[in-house]
Amino acid sequence: MPDFMLNTRPEAIVLGRETRIMGIVNVTPDSFSDGGDFYQTDRAIRHGIALYEQGADMLDIGGESSRPFSEGVSVDEEMRRVLPVMEALSAKIPVPLSVDTTKASVAEAAIKAGASVINDISALRADPDMARVAVRYNVPVILMHMKGTPRTMQVSPVYDNLILEIRDFLRDAAQAAVEKGMDPSNLMIDPGIGFGKTLEDNLALLKNLHHFAALGMPLLVGSSRKKFIRSILSQDSEKDMDPKSSLVETGTQATVASAALNGAHMVRVHDAASTKATLKVIDAIKNSRDFPDGS
């Protein structure tokens, strides 16, 4: 797998032989995975520090839930949630921080508070000023595929050719970013597991991640605790599983292993400790000797 380098602070992150971990810090009352657990600023800060201590290479801090059918929040409310956490963590831990937002003003304020990556689930479509902010501060941007919006994305999503359509979308999003002045080396792509995809779509994406290598950009995959994992594990029950259960985490780690083996450079997860152990083994397998043609 080729090496890439993200221009992050305080140090650049090299992506290649070692699959990197992005730890999730949801400063929200309504996220599907840990709704309200880290809504209070002090708890979010402690959680971020814990994720770093467990092995996270980057933290992704967000103040607006993107769960299916969710409503948005105002700019002021999103800043109120995110900025104190960003400021505190940037002073306390030595790994890069990402801001999970679709709003340019939130991204710019977060960068001033310590963020060095923008994670935009709209791939720069939601706010026309987002590219300007990224160019002005020369920060990496993660471009994600999403069919529709969080409010509509899971209403009967249909594709003629799942992989081709998502790959073309990400290629076009990256080209648009470059045309707006972004450095191509500052772009990372995310196929958007769970964002406008059926259970079968998500499984096919994980199996076929290698097709995105042709785009020549580092690949982020976020499958942690998602509905499709819980659906597989609870097929014999009408009740949805607790996203924080140990069984769901086991299922998450299966998807982490699959993603890493099939081309992901970074995985976005809730449990950095379990992921660190999974990736230590998977990366050892991935980097072991090749025997072409079985010889």
| Residue 124, CB-side half-sphere exposure with 13 Å CA sphere | 28
Tell me which H or E stretch contains 142: strand 141-144
DSSP state of 98: E
| Residue 292, CB-side half-sphere exposure with 13 Å CA sphere | 0
The yes-or-no answer on residue 92 being catalytic is no
Token pair 């309504």 is found at: 30
Strands 13-15 and 4-6: antiparallel
The yes-or-no answer on residue 280 being catalytic is no
Tell me which H or E stretch contains 107: helix 104-113
For CA atoms 6, 8, 12, 13, give the dihedral sign.
negative
Token pair 């960068």 is found at: 111
Q: Which position among 81, 147, 197, 268 bears the catalytic label?
A: 268
Q: Which two tokens stand for residue 107?
A: 């991204």
Neighbour tally for 10: CB within 10 Å: 12
Q: Which position among 147, 225, 226, 230 bears the catalytic label?
A: 226
Helix/strand/coil for 188? strand
Active centre residues (catalytic)? 226, 268
